[in-house]
Amino acid sequence: MPRLSTSELNAFLAEPGHLVRIGSIDADGMPRVAPAWFLHRDGAILFTPRAASVFLHNLRRDPRVALSIDEEALPYRKLSVQGVCRILHETGDDDAWRDTYRAIALRYVPATGAEAYIQNTIDQPRALLAVPLAESRVTTWRMPVGAEARTGIWARRYYVPGSKYGREAAAAAERAAQS
């Protein structure tokens, strides 16, 4: 399956509307996934949980985190991250990073609506968290496009040996090794 190039990944993460799904572990060991707005800036995924957010409490206790960002339309670009979350600003320090909060809101709401949202929720403290991609396990993929091999739909390990795509994937790997 084709991985996203750096420029493809940056373009994907800059597009408005995609949600990040944040995986954390509750105190009882159960996994939790929460969708959220995000911003990709300076090589990190930034998001802003409210003070009472369960996943914020989880990440304070155990900063290991999983993130997933994807799209529903072709070419089905996807990003999966396993990393460690950093708290850049604690709740109550919102004024120090209000411009970042505004930038996040503008990715999801038109300008007049974003400003109204910020003003209407300004008294609801949030933290600013970051997951640096360079320090994380990052996997990206998308469907093959153009002349790319159709066997790029899945990772090669998923093709059953001897099946149609299994044979095609093996042949493609052999051609690549000879080049």
In tens, the pLDDT along 102-114 reads: 999 999 999 989 9
SS3 138: strand
Alpha carbon distance 118, 105 (integer Å): 8
87 phi/psi in degrees, rounded to 5: -90, 110
Contacts of residue 52, Cβ cutoff 8 Å, sequence gap at least 6 = none
Alpha carbon distance 12, 18 (integer Å): 9
Taking only the tens place, the pLDDT of each residue in 72-103 is 998 899 999 999 999 999 999 999 999 999 99
pLDDT for res 154: 77
SS3 109: coil
Amino acid at 89: H
Question: Count H helices, E strands: the chain?
Answer: 5, 9
Q: Is residue 67 predicted with pLDDT exceeding 90?
A: yes
Q: Is residue 166 predicted with pLDDT exceeding 90?
A: no
Mean pLDDT taken over the chain: 93
Alpha carbon distance 1, 170 (integer Å): 13
Alpha carbon distance 49, 171 (integer Å): 48
Q: Is residue 11 predicted with pLDDT exceeding 80?
A: yes
Ordered structural domains, the chain, with CATH = 6-144 (2.30.110.10), 149-179 (no CATH)
pLDDT for res 156: 76
Eight-state DSSP code of residue 28: T
Amino acid at 169: A
As a whole-number percent, the residues of the chain with pLDDT over 70 amount to: 99
pLDDT for res 146: 84
pTM of the model: 0.89
Q: Is residue 118 predicted with pLDDT exceeding 90?
A: yes
